Amino acid sequence: MKTQQIKNTDLTVSRIALGCMRIADSAPEKAEELVRTALEEGINFFDHADIYGGGRSEEVFSKAVHMNDDVREKIVLQSKCGIRPQRYDFSKEHILSSVDGILKRLNTDYLDLLLLHRPDALVEPEEVAETFQILQDSGKVKYFGVSNHNPMQIELLQKYCSQKLVVNQLQFAITHAGMVSNGINVNMTTDAANCRDGSILDYCRLKDITIQPWSPFQYGFFEGVFLDNEKFPELNAVIDRLAEQYQVKNTAIAIAWILRHPAKMQPIAGTTNPQRLKDICRACDVELTREEWYEIYRAAGNQIP
């Protein structure tokens, strides 16, 4: 497993992270096997959120990893907060309460990273700044970031927060590549030229913010996976050919496509299948050529002007 530095932190992390959203209902032995496999493959970064399984995902993970001081020193823990039923909440009271719950469920004294989980329309950045300072001063959170935020939303928070926002978690995949496509189609009148995210990719690169792609195998908004899907025959034909060429599974090629981008993104793999996780990790052994990267991009239906 290759590693990278999350800029403006002292965190050296695996290039692929394990997303723990779906482990809430895993039997103890299955969860333990998954976490053990991740560690054996060199994954040291585990992504959580207080809403995953209503908090149970964090509890299951803590037991599966056999959390103790020795284990804690070897892993990087990230969690998210701010989503509540039918609304968002970045209030001081809610964030502080959420973090206390997260720490209790993960059986740890601190988080390496806390992300604000989707924008709150009623955000008061001064209050967020005060809250971050409390969390940092207390040692409960080392670093901070956001999820699904655009550049101006980040700028608004950063105006008041003394802590650098170092991560932005965004949906990104071969079939969900708008943040790339609008840059390729500059000055065009096609739909792909529409910039719906404020040039978030270039912004994050300029600001040294690590992008963490979520749902790297999905198309649409949880409509399904594109791999082995009859809706994407040309794309799967190209991916399967390259998988055979590099002697890996198709999942590895899909992740290698993300890793090939010079932004040094850190994709979140949300599988609960240990063998599938092993297959995904082989992406770090694949260095797609520029021609192969663009061939995959075009095969997904993305146009080159």
Measure Cα distances from 254 to 147, 175, 248 in Å.
22, 10, 11
Residue 69 inside a domain? The answer is: yes
The CATH number linked to 60 is: 3.20.20.100
Which residues in 23-62 are b (16+ Cβ under 10 Å) and which e?
A: bbebeeebbbbbbebbbebebbbbbbbbbbbebebbbbbb
Q: Which tens digits make up the pLDDT trace of 83-103?
A: 999 999 999 999 999 999 999
pLDDT digits (tens, 9 = 90+) for 40-72: 999 999 999 999 999 999 999 999 999 999 999
**φ and ψ of 271, to 5 deg:** -70, 155
Mean pLDDT across 183-193: 89
Question: Torsion-angle region of residue 62: left (phi > 0), alpha (psi -120 to 50) or beta?
Answer: alpha
Please report whether residue 177 resides in a domain: yes
Q: What is the pLDDT of residue 13?
A: 98
Note the pLDDT of residue 51.
97
Helical pair 56-64 and 92-106, crossing angle rounded to 10 deg: 30
Is the pLDDT reported for residue 291 higher than 80?
yes
User: In the block, which residue shows the tokens 């850190």?
Assistant: 266
Task: Give the C-alpha distances (Å, rounded to integers) separating 171 from 176, 219, 300.
Answer: 7, 10, 16
Nearest-angstrom CA–CA distance, 68 and 63: 10
Q: 118 is in which domain, residue-wise?
A: 3-299
DSSP 164: P
Number of domains making up the chain: 1
Q: What proportion of the chain, given as a percentage, has pLDDT over 90?
A: 95
Please tell me the predicted confidence (pLDDT) of residue 84: 95
Query: What is the pTM assigned to this prediction?
Result: 0.96
**What single-letter amino acid sits at 293?**
W
**What is the rounded average pLDDT for all residues in the chain?**
97
119 within a domain of the structure (yes/no): yes
> What are the structure tokens assigned to 195, written together?
């910039």
Does the residue 38 lie in any domain?
Answer: yes
Q: Where are the alpha helices (DSSP H) in the chain?
A: 28-40, 56-64, 69-74, 92-106, 125-137, 151-160, 178-184, 200-206, 233-246, 250-259, 274-281, 290-299
Do the Cβ atoms of 219 and 212 come closer than 8 Å? no
The pLDDT of residue 161 is 98
β-bridge mates for residue 141, sequence order: 111
Q: What is the pLDDT of residue 222?
A: 76
Is 304 part of a structural domain of the chain? no
| Active-site position among 52, 203, 219, 246 | 52
pLDDT value at position 231? Answer: 95
Average the pLDDT over 268-290 and give the result. 98
229-248 pLDDT, tens digit per residue, is 999 999 999 999 999 999 99
Band of residue 164 on the pLDDT scale cut at 50, 70, 90: very high
How far, in Å, CA of 86 to CA of 287, rounded? 42
Determine, yes or no, domain membership for 305: no
Q: Is residue 206 part of a domain?
A: yes
Give CA–CA dist 219/304, Å, rounded. Answer: 20
Q: In the structure, what pLDDT confidence band is assigned to residue 223 with cuts at 50, 70 and 90?
A: confident
Q: Are strands 210-214 and 218-219 parallel, antiparallel or unpaired?
A: unpaired
Q: Give dist(CA 145, CA 46) in Å, integer.
A: 15
Question: Residue 260 has what pLDDT?
Answer: 98
Residue 276 domain-assigned (yes or no): yes
Q: Is 52 a catalytic residue?
A: yes
